């Protein structure tokens, strides 16, 4: 969890610093232009490039089996990320892909995820607000419902945007993770059997080779290995949203 927060912090920090020292906009104005959209996506791309070494280190720490994991500190992700850039740190095998070959798939996944989630979030929010507006015109609403209508649609829109982008880009994320982990001497748990560990012995030469190899050796379903975890994640997310709505409604009714 610590390394995941560090990656988020590096991403936000890098985006802020780059936007301060360059004319690249951090936010897209309501009256946008193609140039502004392009500059904004360029800022996002540069941010993903800066955060990429730390993302790679965090990913390895996340999937590494608990059986062989050392009690590393919370800043181990930063140490490993910097070591990956300067070529020092934990020794890796010759199958380790250079960071330059990981830039394109990392930036592609990040930018596509951002675009898809942004579009879906705005689309769902527009539909929910229009529906709420029409219901208010049709009949009078209670103060509790008005408060829910003010905040809950945005939570639903964010949930739908995150769900759709994760599902749509899951095959690309599978490829990206395999490329980042290759050659890092990572040992993972065998989640099919549940009682042994497996070494990562892939020999992909790049993104295209990884896609072709998965398709030939594992079939289309090879791109969706581990998808059950995404289903569990968003099922719990939906449950939390529903429980939050119930609690919020109860608190508002008690205060009114």
Q: Are residues 204 and 99 in the same domain?
A: yes
At 48, the pLDDT band (50, 70, 90 cuts) reads very high
Query: Cα 117 from chain centroid?
Result: 10
Q: Are residues 74 and 136 in the same domain?
A: no
Among 90, 118, 142, where does a domain finish? 90
pTM of the model: 0.86
Q: Are residues 138 and 191 in the same domain?
A: yes
Contact 183, 204 (CB under 8 A): no
Q: Are residues 227 and 148 in the same domain?
A: yes
Q: Are residues 222 and 119 in the same domain?
A: yes
Among 51, 67, 90, where does a domain finish? 90
Q: Are residues 160 and 81 in the same domain?
A: no
Query: Distance between CA 167 and CA 170 in Å, rounded?
Result: 5
Q: Are residues 106 and 21 in the same domain?
A: no
What pLDDT shows up at residue 76?
79
Name the residue range of residue 24's domain.
1-90
Phi, psi of 202 (to 5 degrees): -75, 155
Contact 36, 25 (CB under 8 A): yes
Q: What is the mean pLDDT of residues 58-67?
A: 82
Q: Are residues 106 and 199 in the same domain?
A: yes
For residue 141, pLDDT beyond 60: no
Q: Are residues 133 and 245 in the same domain?
A: yes
Among 56, 75, 90, where does a domain finish? 90
Q: Are residues 61 and 184 in the same domain?
A: no
């Amino acid at each position: 969890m610590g390394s995941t927060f560090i990656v988020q912090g590096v991403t936000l920090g890098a985006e802020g610093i780059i936007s301060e020292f360059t004319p690249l906009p951090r936010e897209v104005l309501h009256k946008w232009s193609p140039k502004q959209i392009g500059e904004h996506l360029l800022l996002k791309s540069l941010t993903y490039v800066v955060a990429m070494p730390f993302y790679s280190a965090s990913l390895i720490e996340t999937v590494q089996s608990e059986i062989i994991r050392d009690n590393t500190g919370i800043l181990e992700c930063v140490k490993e990320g910097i070591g990956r850039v300067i070529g020092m740190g934990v020794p890796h095998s010759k199958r380790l892909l250079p960071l330059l070959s990981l830039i394109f798939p990392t930036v592609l996944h990040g930018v596509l995820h951002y675009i898809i989630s942004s579009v879906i979030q705005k689309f769902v929010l527009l539909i929910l607000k229009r529906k709420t507006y029409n219901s208010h015109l049709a009949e009078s609403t209670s103060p509790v419902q008005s408060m829910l209508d003010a905040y809950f649609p945005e939570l639903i829109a964010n949930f739908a945007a995150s769900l759709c982008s994760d599902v749509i880009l899951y095959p690309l994320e599978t490829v990206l993770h395999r490329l980042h982990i290759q050659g890092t001497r990572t040992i993972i748990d065998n989640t099919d059997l549940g009682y042994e560990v497996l070494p990562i012995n892939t020999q992909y030469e790049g993104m295209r080779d990884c896609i072709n190899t998965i398709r030939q050796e594992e079939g289309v379903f090879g791109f969706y290995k581990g998808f059950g975890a995404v289903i569990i994640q968003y099922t719990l997310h939906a449950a939390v949203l529903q429980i939050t709505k119930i609690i919020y409604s109860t608190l508002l009714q008690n205060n009114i």
